[in-house]
Amino acid sequence: MNRHLRVRTAAAVLALSVICLMNSPAAGGAPAGETPAQRDQRMAWWRQARFGLFVHWGLYSGLAGTWEGKPVGTRGGMEWIQQRVKADTDTYTKAAFPLFKPKEGFAREWAQLAREAGCRYLVFTTKHHDGFALHDSKVSDFDAGNLLGRDLVCEIVQAARARRLRVGFYHSVIDWHHDQYAYQKSQQLPHPLKGRPYPNGERDHAKYKAFLRAQVDELVSRYPVDILWWDYSAIDFQGQEAWNAFDLMERVRAKRPRIIMNNRLFRSREAGWAGMGTEGYLPQLDPKYGDFITPEQHIPDTGMPGVDWETCMTMNTTWGYSAHDHAWKSSATLIRNLVDIASKGGNYLLNIGPKGDGSVPEESVRALRDIGAWMRVNGEAIYGTTASPYEKLAWGRCTQKAGKGGPERLYLHVFDWPRNGRLEIPALRGSEPVKAWLLAGGGKATVSPTGRTWTVQVPATAPDPVVSVVALKLEPAR
Ligand code: FHN
C-alpha cells in the first residue's frame, strides 16, 4: 500500500475510532423520491463488488455445536443451538458465555482473510437470534459491552475499514432473549420456548419493537455502515406488524441515505420472496421493501433478472461454528459458484463461522486463500461484470463488461476445457471480436468470426485446473 494511501487509511481508522468512542450521530437525509439513476449510483459499488464475506459469530460460537458434552448434530445451523436444545436464555447464556473469549486482534485476522480472498465487503452478525449484541448497547445489558467490557462491533468495523472493506451489519429481528418478544404471534418463526407459555406472563410486542428500533438506531448512528442485512421474517409474521418494518427502514435511510438493505423484514411475493428459495419471485423489487433479494444456500438456475440479488452460502452446512460439521465444499466448488453467480448477475456472500475466540476454522482459511489465488489472476472477469449475454454454455460460463457502444469485453469461464482446442460461441449482433487472450498461464488464444458463431482457438491444456478464463475484446461491428 503506497504511503499516501497508508496515511489516508490511518486517518480514516482514527476518525472511526473517535466515532465509535463518541457514538456521534450521523448525518440525516433519506433518499426519498430517489430516481432510478440515483438508485443505480447508490447500488454501483455493491454491483461491482460481486463477492463478500459473511461472518456468523456470537455466544453460540463457543459452544461449537456441543451441548452438555455431546454433539447436537453434524449438519445444519449451530447458531440455532439454543433453539435446537430448547434452552431458555439463562440456561443457554450460562453454558455459552464462559466459552466466548474473543482474542486480541481476531477482527484484523478476518479483515486480512477477506482481502486475501478478494472479498470487497464484510457482513457480520451484530446480533443473531439469541439476542446477544456484539456492540456496547445502551438499551440492553445482554451485550459485549456489559459482559466483556468490549465493543466488538467497533473492533470489527475498524479492522474492516483499515482493509478498505465495505461493512455490512447482519441484524436478527428474531430475538430469543428479550422478554417482550411475543414469539406466540408466529407459528413459523423459531423460538426455543415455542409451544410453551410465556415464562414471564403476557408480553407486549410493541415494547420489543421499540427495543429493536433503539438498538438499530445505535448501530447505524454509531458506526459507518454500508449494508443492513435484516434476518428474517415469516409469511405469518412480517413487515409492520412484526417489526414496524417501514418505520425501521425509513429511520435507517434517514441516518444512512446511501445504505443498502435486503428485503428480509418482509416475506411476500411483492417484497421479493415467499420461500427461502426463489420460487415465485417477481422481476422487480420496490425499494420500500429493500434493495436486494437473498437466495439462501442455492444459486437461482437462471439468476434473478430484473432485481439485485445475492446468494448467501455456508462453506459446510452451518452458519455458526460447529466442531462436528466436516461437510466442507471444495475450493473448486466455491470458485465455480462465484463464477456461476457472477455469470447470472448476482453477488456471492460466502460465510465463515469463527470459533469462540474469533479464530477462523482452518478449512475456511484454506478455501478463502484458494479463492483469493484464483481471484488475483482472474478478478477482472468477476468485479464490475454483468450477466452473460448467453443463456447456457455447455463448457462453462460467461461474464461481460459493457462499453459505450455495447459489450467491450467477454470473459469465457471454461470449466470443461475443449480437447480439440476450440470453443464455439454464438456471435453477438452488432459486435465483432478483435482479440482473445488467456488470463492465466500466458498461453496464446485467437478468435475468428465464422458467420453466426465465433470460434476461439485455445492451447491444448487448460491453464487453470478449476476455471480457465479466455478474455475477448469486442468492438462495434463495422
Ligand atoms: O435463521 C437464520 C440462520 O441462522 C442464518 O443466519 C441464515 C443466514 O442467511 N438466515 C436465517 C435462516 O434463513
| pLDDT per residue as tens digits for the range 376-432 | 999 999 999 999 999 999 999 999 999 888 899 999 999 999 999 999 999 999 999
Q: Are residues 107 and 217 in the same domain?
A: yes
Cell 458465555 sits at which residue? 97
Overall residue count recorded for the chain in this entry: 478
Confidence at 450, pLDDT banded by 50, 70, 90: confident
Say whether both 401 and 349 belong to one domain.
no
Question: Is residue 386 situated within a structural domain?
Answer: no
Q: Is the pLDDT of residue 276 over 70?
A: no
In a domain, 71, yes or no: yes
Q: Are residues 317 and 342 in the same domain?
A: yes
One domain, residues 365 and 412: no
Q: What pLDDT was estimated at residue 11?
A: 59
Determine the Cα–Cα distance for residues 281 and 273; give it in Å rounded to an integer. Answer: 6
Nearest CA to ligand 1 atom 6: 319
Residue 23: per-residue pLDDT: 35
Q: How far is CA 390 from the centre of its chain?
A: 26
CATH code of residue 449: 2.60.40.1180
Q: Confidence band (pLDDT; 50, 70, 90) for 33?
A: confident
Cβ of 415 closer than 6 Å to ligand 1, yes or no, is no
Q: Which residues pair with 422 in a beta bridge?
A: 457
Residue 249 lies in a domain: yes
- Only one residue has cell 453454558, namely 95
pLDDT digits (tens, 9 = 90+) for 453-476: 999 999 999 999 999 999 999 999
> Is 353 near ligand 1, meaning CB less than 6 Å away?
no
Q: pLDDT at position 445, please?
A: 98
Q: What is the CATH number of the domain that holds 155?
A: 3.20.20.80
Q: Is the CB of 79 under 6 A from ligand 1?
A: yes
- The C-alpha atoms of residue 285 and residue 464 are separated, in whole angstroms, by 38
Amino acid letter at 180? Q
What is the model's pLDDT at position 4?
60
Nearest atom (ligand 1) to Cα of 170: 6
The answer to whether 297 and 351 are in contact (CB under 8 A) is no
- State the distance from the centre of ligand 1 to the C-alpha of 26, rounded, in angstroms: 29
* pLDDT range class, residue 274, cuts 50, 70, 90: confident
- Let me know whether 233 and 308 are in one domain: yes
CA of 138 relative to ligand 1 center, distance in Å: 26
230: Cβ below 6 Å to ligand 1? no
Task: Measure the CA–CA gap between 81 and 319, rounded to whole angstroms.
Answer: 11
172 plus 79 within the same structural domain: yes
- Which atom of ligand 1 is the closest one to the Cα of 294? 9
Q: What is the DSSP string of 228-278?
A: EEEE--BTTB-HHHHH-HHHHHHHHHHH-TT-EEBSTT--STTTT-SSSS-
What b/e string do you get for 246-278 counting C-beta neighbours within 10 Å, with b at 16 or more?
A: eebbebbbbbbbebbbbbbbbbeeebbbeeeeb
Q: Could you tell me the three cell numbers for 288?
A: 420500500
Provide mean pLDDT across the span 300-317.
Answer: 96
Among the atoms of ligand 1, which is closest to the Cα of residue 125? 6
Residue nearest ligand 1's atom 10 by CA: 231
Query: How close is the Cα of 231 to the center of ligand 1, in Å?
Result: 7
Can you give the C-alpha Rg of the chain in angstroms?
23
| Cβ of residue 124 lying under 6 Å from some atom of ligand 1 | no
Same domain, yes or no: 369 and 407: no
Domain finish residue from 337, 353, 381: 381
226 lines ligand 1 (CB under 6 A): no
Residue 308: give the domain boundaries: 3-24+33-381
Q: Is 7 inside any structural domain?
A: yes
Q: Best substitution site from 319, 321, 352 to test ligand 1's pocket, by max atoms within 8 Å of Cβ?
A: 319
Q: What percent of the chain has pLDDT over 90?
A: 87
CA angle 286, 288, 294 (to 5 degrees): 70
Residue 234 forms beta bridges with which residues?
A: 237
Q: What is the pLDDT of residues 46-104, one digit of tens each?
A: 999 999 999 999 999 999 999 999 999 999 999 999 999 999 999 999 999 999 999 99
Q: Which atom of ligand 1 is nearest to the CA of 56?
A: 6
CB 395 within 8 A of CB 416: yes
- For residue 129, report the distance from its CA to the centre of ligand 1, in Å: 9
125 or 280: which leads in pLDDT? 125
Question: Which atom of ligand 1 is nearest to 77's Cα?
Answer: 4
Q: Give residue 28's pLDDT.
A: 28
C-alpha cell at 319: 452458519
Distance 251 CA to ligand 1 centre (A): 24
> Is the same domain home to 185 and 38?
yes
Measured in Å, residue 57 CA sits from the centre of ligand 1 at: 12
Atom of ligand 1 nearest to the CA of 276: 13
44 CA distance to ligand 1 middle (Å) = 26
Residue 299 predicted with pLDDT over 80: yes
Closest ligand 1 atom to the C-alpha of 232? 11
Whether 54 and 312 have beta carbons less than 8 Å apart is answered as yes
pLDDT for 9 equals 55
Q: Is the CB of 319 inside a 6 Å radius of any atom of ligand 1?
A: yes
Is 403 among the domain residues? yes
Q: Is 130 in the pocket of ligand 1 (CB under 6 A)?
A: no
Whether residues 435 and 467 share a domain: the answer is yes
Same domain, 431 and 377: no
Domain boundary among 381, 412, 431: 381
My answer on whether 140 and 250 are in the same domain is yes
Q: Is residue 387 part of a domain?
A: no
Q: Which of 381, 415, 430 is the last residue of a domain?
A: 381
Q: What DSSP character marks residue 176?
A: S
Tell me which of 232, 297, 313, 316 to substitute to probe ligand 1's pocket, judged by most ligand atoms within 8 Å of the beta carbon.
Answer: 232
* Same domain as 364, residue 401: no
| Mean pLDDT value across the chain | 93
Total of domains in the chain: 2
Domain assignment present for residue 201? The answer is: yes
